[in-house]
Structure 1
Amino acid sequence: MLEKLLGSVCGKTREEPKTEERKIRGTVLLMKKNVMEMTDVGASFLDRVHEIVGKGVTLQLISASHADPANGSRGKLGKEAYLEHWVTKFTSLSAKDDAMFNITFDWDESMGVPGAFIIRNHHHSQFYLKKVTLEDVPGHGQLQFVCNSWVYPAHRYKNDRVFFAYKTYLPCNTPEPLRAYREDELTNLRGDGSGTLKEWDRVYDYALYNDLGSPEKGQEYARPVLGDSKEFPYPRRGRTGREPNEKDPNSESQLPLLNLNIYVPRDERFSHVKFLDFIGYSFKSLGQVLIPEIEAVFDETINEFDDFQDVHKLYEGGIKLPDGHALKNTRECLPWESFKNLLHLDGGRPLQFPTPDIIKNDRTAWRTDEEFGREMLAGVNPVIIRRLQEFPPASKLDPKVYGNQNSSMTGDQIEKNMNGLTVEEAIADNKLFILDYHDVLIPYLRRINTTTTKTYASRTVLLLQDNGTLKPLAIELSREQPDENVHDPISQVFTPSEHGIENSKWQLAKAYAAVNDSGYHQLISHWLNTHAVIEPFVIATNRRLSVLHPIYKLLQPHYRDTMNINALARHTLINAGGILERTVFPARYAMEMSATIYKNWNFAEQALPEDLIKRGVAVIDPSQRHGLRLLIEDYPFAVDGLEIWSAIKDWVNDYCSIYYDKDDMIQDDKELQSWWMELREEGHGDLKDEPWWPKMQTKYELVQTCTIIIWVASALHAAVNFGQYPYAGYLPNRPTVSRRFMPEPDTPEHAELEKDPDLSFLKTITAQFQTLLGVSLIEILSQHSTEEIYLGQRDTSEWPSDKEKEAFARFSTKLVKIENEIIERNNDQRLRNRVGPVNMPYTLLYPNTSDYSKKGGLTVKGIPNSISI
């Protein structure tokens, strides 16, 4: 009875159909806000009231066949239809429950097939529209609209929300009645470049990195603007439109620390499940929210690990901290009692982390030279090592500015460990390799070392042995002169030794090199070369490519959550005084240094084959698979990576070939050309004049470009991100800070190194508090969400046509084959770099398309489609 009564009330707004009209029935799949946001207790009630008074949710079909001259030749509109039974359909509070509503349209058959619809939400609250399915459309049959978008109340929008049928059209092939709607939608997404953006705005726009500093807190927290500068070029970020900082009009004002509601377009924000996962992981670990409280604890206790057993207590039993009431100066704004049980921070329970993989099977194998070399090929930063083609290594820094920065290494120092080879023979046989951080650090070293950091710029030379492993030969540590007017560095060379004080110094030298590698990894390999460089592609794609465009559909899955995680990073991680500055050695100069390194970023060289060739670890060889011959045959990242790269490129080529028969179709594609021009001139505008940008005139250039984007957003990010906790969760293996220089003879530090080398080692690397904070951070970053979508998977089963579906099926099948091949390689005992002395198989490029990938957490495997954490 209630359902009949309510139906008649809502039906008053509809007219009876004429005899020539036909009813089209459909279903609408959505998720209500009261399901997603349990804090908004009034949403459900108010929405039901709105329904009763005739303010429901309406859809209005748009013809793809017939234009309305009176409406700018846009497609003719059908009559509005209401979602049925909103009031009587109750949904559970499970965040995973969708609501299915029926809808019935009156449609004049003479208007042909609908190609889009307008939706108006007259409710109090927003909902997430997933899909609309029309049955028995005259002349077509079933018609799908895959929406996946938040729809806010209609009064929040300046223009109607329009969704298109799940079809794909090049701009020139778009049905004429839909073209204006297609163009209007892109105009809406670009916005007008003004005002503070609100959560319901759908604007994608560019901004400089001017939101990192907090100058109102004092000069210590001021940071330079990154971007639109020859000194500090940078990729663009998403605009929020927040007001300028009161102390510096060139900087954007900051939100309070606990306010995570940073503007990104609503459809780019984490889903409810992903957000809960992220918050759960963050609360489980230590975050910046607790820095003052944890510092208060360590102000009263020694801030050192006494020995390696003390470090192991982090994972085996934990470190007991004082009761919450014992903490001094606790900020009143922090709900300490609410957090401490969840975080295990009360005195009765220990602070304990999961055991990192690097020490699960052997506590000490990480200290071996073989493992030290192996991690350059199969660790968390396997993208830096290069072939050494001249000895001693030369510097590219301007000697007029920096003095003589060439290496001080000699042949005698390294040949004693080269298995009988000479330097000349090793170079000729492609046997010498180097991990070189000298030139990138020297310009900043003096400033870095004025902080609590005391570190070096390192060069590590290694020999490729017959068994495929890398043998460290020497580590050169260079530091600045005490006199600022003297530019030539103070350099020391350390070589392997198995006994006594020389062994202790060798272990320290490896730690200093690891500090360089850790900082460069986090700042450049991870943040800059994946997170930061991809964000302009996300923005440009949404501004210039319609959802109907084939390249939009190809790339969009690889942008999921990227803008959101980057916004959170700017808020709490890479900002002034943020977690990264507190835990990684460049400290306040970290982002500034990344901007100087961005000057040498080259889009074309982000392709894996080009990167391997540039670093000299591979040479072109048409007779080999992938057309390359690896000079280090057992190079897990490169071997697995080339398989993934080739699978991605084949998929992209198959997909693009469906839509582009000839190169002139690419040249004539107005949206594609507009996208590529804006990406170069605005998104990466500081490098717009570089000659290496593809011209986007041929299908080869399009395929290569899209392959690079997908590779960087998926496999490359997976390789440099999800191994962080497994390798660096045990910080002695990858320290992030060094606090004192190598001990000099006849000093107390040297005597301590002789007497207790382990204690000296721990006093040199990352301190206890920084370790807790750093390990907490990388535990969060290394987690997979329970709703992650991996390479070879999609969030919808629908496809515009069977051709795309078949091509993607081939792609997914290749990835399964690659998974099996990786397992076989990891089980091949001849490949010593696959597992190493720590007995840790290389699985970071295991695509993980299996069902158990849905478990999430620290899986140490799996390639998500996008940079989502």
Structure 2
Amino acid sequence: MLMPQVNQSRPAETTSFLRSFQKPFIHGTTEKSATLPAHLTRTSKKVGNNQSSSVRIRRSVTPKASLIGNIVNKLTSNVNVVVTVLPTLGGVLTNVGIGKGIDDAKDLLGQSLQLELVSAELDPKTGLEKKRVKGYAHKTSLLDVGEATYEVDFDIPKDFGEVGAIIVQNEHHKEMFLKDIKLDGEGLLNGSVTISCNSWVHSKSDNSQNRIFFTNKSYLPSNTPSGLKKLRGEDLKNVRGNGKGERKSFERIYDYDVYNDLGSPDLSEKLKRPVLGGKEHPYPRRCRTGRPPSRKDPSSESRNTLMFYVPRDENFSEVKTVTFGAKTLYSVLHALIPALESVIVDENFPYFTTIDTLFDEGIKIPPGEETKGLLRSAIPRLVKAASDVDDILQFEPPEPMDRDKFFWLRDEEFGRQTLAGLNPHTIQLVTEWPLKSKLDPSIYGPAESAITKEIIEQEIRGFMTLDEAIKEKKLFMLDYHDLLLPYVSKVRQLEGATLYGSRTIFFLTNEGTLRPLAIELTRPPMDGKPQWKQVFTPTWNATGVWLWRLAKAHVLAHDSGVHQLVSHWLRTHCVTEPYIIATKRQLSAMHPIFRLLNPHFRYTMEINALARQLLINANGIIESTFSPGKYSIELSSVAYDKLWRFDHEALPADLISRGLAIEDPNSPHGLKLTIEDYPFANDGLLIWDAIKQWVTNYVNYYYSSASQIQSDEELQAWWTEIRTVGHADKKDEPWWPVLETPEDLIQIVTTIVWVTSGHHAAVNFGQYTYGGYFPNRATIARTNVPTEDPTDEEWKYFLEKPEGTLLQCLPTKLQAAKVMTVLDVLSTHSPEEEYLGEKLEASWGVDPYIKASFEQFNGRLKEIEGIIDERNANSDLRNRHGAGIAPYELLKPFSEAGVTGKGVPYSISI
């Protein structure tokens, strides 16, 4: 039979032909699939909400054939299967591409999707797997209706039993994205069945390994239906791989590796970076890509590919790819940043008023032919069309600046943001005096702080003694001394950068606000000079005021670095990747804990890969705009080694460890906060409690005893792998929770869910709000304070033009533009963001109890929205309400798309 040629442009006559001969679907069979019959009768069939055309097979039967058919009908039942496939860029349904015509022809010939129905039970007579029912599903709706459907009718044996899984083989030469598979018919024991796939299925030509999709019903390993046990193990084996070879883009292999791909030693010796992961630089593990080593540094992996591999189902969705991924972050880093570098002179802002031009006038960008129009479509919030030739990068004023232009200057705002700003995770209670460093004094100088009892008592002006202030829990501190001091000498060798170790002391007022009392900046012995340290305090003379402002600028740069590298990157993005890998490798897709955690891992591996490629890499955005420079990610390794503990990632434990709360069974949440008006803690505990109740209901439904936890081999392997492989450098720490009871599992899972949702939301979606006007929290301090070994000329300039001295310390024009642009993108909610408790997962809806528990969870989150609004309107809560103060909304559960400063997604999706 001659087939018409189908090219990618698909002329009208070809389209007409394809429409008139829409794909036939053939009754499935346990034997070899039937061939196309001679007589086809066109029928109309309703598929879902779409009216679609199909072609049914009409068989010409003889009386003998009719008799056989009647016998078969008594032994078999009909089941209709409909597969929904989403249109994707470059996938099998795309209208372009060299293989489009081939795939259309394959559909016509009956070579599209091969399906195998698997019985959930073994044959009781033989003890073997029941014979699978096979057949080809064919397209029964066209792309122009939005979703394509593939359909097949199966005749299955009456004793086939419950369908437990479907095995899919994609006969096309392109991958396709399966949304779901629906089964309906008299042959189904439990009525209609929906299998939620939401997964890419590779082409048979790329990989002959079939895909396995289990029904939405969840099973513990011990309860797995007999007919699915072997398949359950086979599916897990498929995703683990063999640890060899370079991973291909269509694969879904989960494995571990160290962070050895941040540098580019083949390009330059200056771009070489140490391996993170191992005894020298402890670190969580990332996903293995298997790329070859660099030529000049065998310990480093080459970066010779445009995209970094992540397992196929971890990639952004088509909507997110268009609205955020390639079209936004790539546009910013590959088009906008180079454009900025070509038009902005890397110099200081001469006056603070010139900073306002970024918001009032913007920066004119003449894009090249490749980028013309790209930027304004990718980031329309920032890039506007000025003419047919030029674009304008114009920033929108962040909300705090819009409310109070001078908010960043005020000490009360400095104190407030430690509790309700971008980095509320590092403030801690002062419990000992004098303050002392734990670093080696023979290397870093005298350990005792220069902040003395006399300085503190002078600042609190007789309200109480130092001892009374400590006893009454009135003194708090940002302590970046020991973390940063070892890097001071290294950073000062970099061009345009400096660093100190720092401590900042705050006093808790009777109004519940924090008043900054003192800042200590320390330089270790270096370059033949002894240790230098100085304490700065708020004062009422011109010179002292400007020195205080400069000291604050340094502390805020330290806080920005610790926020981005530790509170944000390390404590959410980085430590979560091993949780994801272990979950996919050790928990079956039908395991209830897999299905509970899976929404909380959406897109995290993809955004982490983008970060390794473009943000935290050698000479990337972080290194070029943050104080630690080339040592930035290495510094996060030190924080992981010295500070990170899984058990302290739980919000209550975190607050207790910092002295911000004590256990109190008579108080809400079982805690009494040291600072009653602590917006992050107050709102965070509402989210924490809601999560824990939902997790408790879910876990207790599946596990009624400790023995079930201990005998669940998948669950135990999962927790063991997280501790000993994903976090191998901390595997021997005594603080890892044991996993022996349902209560243990509830605490572990609640902690993971909190980190991926509430914790991440609190440190991510306010980045532009608080960092968009960069003097509020500059990411880098470039010059020393003028009292550290000043020259006569430097001191004279400071006295004559202190504003100029401060502007020299703050980021340059280019650094500011880079950071503000990236912070805007990273603060953006995608249009298809999924918020905590908003969407019922299909597997949760199977069981009425789990569904009801989720609805309770959803209802509680809606209540929390109202509670937060009430708190922001309460004039007694001065850390979130007052003249010019932006409300604290970072932990409001829901949000619209865009830069909103609120919304708690399920996962670390940006």
Q: TM-score, normalised by structure 1?
A: 0.93
1:14 maps to: 34
Distance 1:396 1:599 in 2: 15
Q: Residues 476 and 491 of structure 1 are in contact (CA less than 8 Å); yes or no, is this contact kept in structure 2?
A: yes
Distance 2:544 2:472 in 1: 30
Partner deviation per Cα, 1:706-729 (whole Å, 9 max, x = no partner) = 000000001000000111000001
Letter of the 1:31 partner, please give it.
L
Letter of the 1:464 partner, please give it.
L
Letter of the 1:186 partner, please give it.
L
Partner deviation per Cα, 1:417-472 (whole Å, 9 max, x = no partner) = 21522211111110000011000001111101111212221100000000010000
The 1:550–1:340 alpha-carbon spacing in structure 2 relative to 1, beyond 3 Å, is closer
1:59 maps to: 115
- Is 1:464 aligned to residue 532 of structure 2? no
Aligned counterpart for 1:115 among listed residues 164, 168, 181: 164
Q: Residues 316 and 325 of structure 2 are in contact (CA less than 8 Å); yes or no, is this contact kept in structure 1?
A: no
Deviates more, 1:750-759 or 1:798-807: 750-759
- Is 1:789 aligned to residue 834 of structure 2? yes
Once the two structures are TM-superposed, the CA of residue 288 in structure 1 deviates from its matched residue by: 5.0
Once the two structures are TM-superposed, the CA of residue 291 in structure 1 deviates from its matched residue by: 4.2
Distance 1:518 1:202 in 2: 36
Distance 1:269 1:517 in 2: 32
Letter of the 2:831 partner, please give it.
T
Aligned counterpart for 1:777 among listed residues 806, 822, 825: 822
- Is 1:174 aligned to residue 216 of structure 2? no
The 1:233–1:7 alpha-carbon spacing in structure 2 relative to 1, beyond 3 Å, is closer
Letter of the 2:176 partner, please give it.
F
Once the two structures are TM-superposed, the CA of residue 394 in structure 1 deviates from its matched residue by: 1.4
Aligned counterpart for 1:664 among listed residues 699, 703, 707: 707
The 1:554–1:530 alpha-carbon spacing in structure 2 relative to 1, beyond 3 Å, is same
Aligned counterpart for 2:429 among listed residues 387, 390, 395: 387
Once the two structures are TM-superposed, the CA of residue 795 in structure 1 deviates from its matched residue by: 6.3
Letter of the 1:51 partner, please give it.
D
Partner deviation per Cα, 1:134-154 (whole Å, 9 max, x = no partner) = 123432111121111111212
- Is 1:522 aligned to residue 564 of structure 2? yes
Q: Residues 723 and 844 of structure 1 are in contact (CA less than 8 Å); yes or no, is this contact kept in structure 2?
A: yes
2:419 maps to: 377
Once the two structures are TM-superposed, the CA of residue 502 in structure 1 deviates from its matched residue by: 0.9
1:433 maps to: 476
Distance 2:385 2:448 in 1: 50
Once the two structures are TM-superposed, the CA of residue 69 in structure 1 deviates from its matched residue by: 9.5
Distance 1:307 1:705 in 2: 51
Q: Residues 118 and 166 of structure 2 are in contact (CA less than 8 Å); yes or no, is this contact kept in structure 1?
A: yes
Distance 1:840 1:29 in 2: 45
Distance 2:156 2:286 in 1: 44
Structure 2 SS opposite 1:195? coil
Distance 1:356 1:75 in 2: 62
Q: Residues 715 and 845 of structure 1 are in contact (CA less than 8 Å); yes or no, is this contact kept in structure 2?
A: yes
Unaligned runs of 5+ in 2: 1-16, 36-58, 60-68, 378-382
Distance 1:251 1:5 in 2: 55
Once the two structures are TM-superposed, the CA of residue 44 in structure 1 deviates from its matched residue by: 3.9
Once the two structures are TM-superposed, the CA of residue 43 in structure 1 deviates from its matched residue by: 4.5
Q: Residues 33 and 126 of structure 1 are in contact (CA less than 8 Å); yes or no, is this contact kept in structure 2?
A: no
2:685 maps to: 642
The 1:283–1:687 alpha-carbon spacing in structure 2 relative to 1, beyond 3 Å, is closer
Deviates more, 1:181-190 or 1:311-320: 311-320
Q: Residues 392 and 408 of structure 1 are in contact (CA less than 8 Å); yes or no, is this contact kept in structure 2?
A: no
Unaligned runs of 5+ in 1: 326-333
Matches within 5 A, 1:354-503: 354-419=396-461, 420-451=463-494, 452-483=496-527, 489-503=531-545
Aligned counterpart for 1:24 among listed residues 65, 79, 99: 79
2:737 maps to: 694
The 1:457–1:691 alpha-carbon spacing in structure 2 relative to 1, beyond 3 Å, is same
- Is 1:742 aligned to residue 772 of structure 2? no
Once the two structures are TM-superposed, the CA of residue 620 in structure 1 deviates from its matched residue by: 1.3
Deviates more, 1:197-206 or 1:403-412: 403-412
The 1:632–1:801 alpha-carbon spacing in structure 2 relative to 1, beyond 3 Å, is same
The 1:765–1:28 alpha-carbon spacing in structure 2 relative to 1, beyond 3 Å, is same
2:370 maps to: 335
Partner deviation per Cα, 1:373-432 (whole Å, 9 max, x = no partner) = 010000000000000112332112233443323211122222222152221111111000
Q: Residues 292 and 302 of structure 2 are in contact (CA less than 8 Å); yes or no, is this contact kept in structure 1?
A: yes
Partner deviation per Cα, 1:508-554 (whole Å, 9 max, x = no partner) = 11111001000111101100110000000000000000011111011
Distance 1:742 1:178 in 2: 68
Once the two structures are TM-superposed, the CA of residue 216 in structure 1 deviates from its matched residue by: 0.9
The structure that has the greater radius of gyration is 2
Matches within 5 A, 1:151-190: 151-190=201-240
Aligned counterpart for 1:766 among listed residues 811, 829, 835: 811
1:103 maps to: 152
Structure 1 SS opposite 2:129? strand
Once the two structures are TM-superposed, the CA of residue 748 in structure 1 deviates from its matched residue by: 3.0
1:329 maps to: none
2:47 maps to: none
Once the two structures are TM-superposed, the CA of residue 832 in structure 1 deviates from its matched residue by: 0.5
Distance 1:231 1:39 in 2: 52
Letter of the 2:161 partner, please give it.
G
Q: Residues 66 and 111 of structure 1 are in contact (CA less than 8 Å); yes or no, is this contact kept in structure 2?
A: no
Distance 1:677 1:425 in 2: 46
Distance 1:3 1:482 in 2: 78
The 1:81–1:388 alpha-carbon spacing in structure 2 relative to 1, beyond 3 Å, is same
Q: Residues 346 and 814 of structure 2 are in contact (CA less than 8 Å); yes or no, is this contact kept in structure 1?
A: no
Distance 1:807 1:42 in 2: 49
Once the two structures are TM-superposed, the CA of residue 776 in structure 1 deviates from its matched residue by: 1.2
The 1:317–1:338 alpha-carbon spacing in structure 2 relative to 1, beyond 3 Å, is closer
Once the two structures are TM-superposed, the CA of residue 302 in structure 1 deviates from its matched residue by: 6.2
Distance 2:356 2:21 in 1: 68
Partner deviation per Cα, 1:491-519 (whole Å, 9 max, x = no partner) = 01000024411111111111110010001
Distance 1:538 1:381 in 2: 25
Once the two structures are TM-superposed, the CA of residue 75 in structure 1 deviates from its matched residue by: 3.3
Distance 1:756 1:575 in 2: 37
Distance 1:155 1:41 in 2: 16
Deviates more, 1:187-196 or 1:450-459: 450-459
Once the two structures are TM-superposed, the CA of residue 859 in structure 1 deviates from its matched residue by: 1.0
2:250 maps to: 200
Aligned counterpart for 2:589 among listed residues 526, 534, 547: 547
Q: TM-score, normalised by structure 2?
A: 0.89
Distance 2:778 2:364 in 1: 23
Q: Residues 78 and 107 of structure 1 are in contact (CA less than 8 Å); yes or no, is this contact kept in structure 2?
A: no
Distance 2:709 2:543 in 1: 65
Structure 2 SS opposite 1:183? helix
- Is 1:651 aligned to residue 694 of structure 2? yes
Deviates more, 1:374-383 or 1:753-762: 753-762
The 1:4–1:776 alpha-carbon spacing in structure 2 relative to 1, beyond 3 Å, is closer
Partner deviation per Cα, 1:146-176 (whole Å, 9 max, x = no partner) = 1111112123234221111111111010011
Once the two structures are TM-superposed, the CA of residue 305 in structure 1 deviates from its matched residue by: 1.1
Letter of the 1:122 partner, please give it.
E
Matches within 5 A, 1:136-155: 136=185, 137-155=187-205
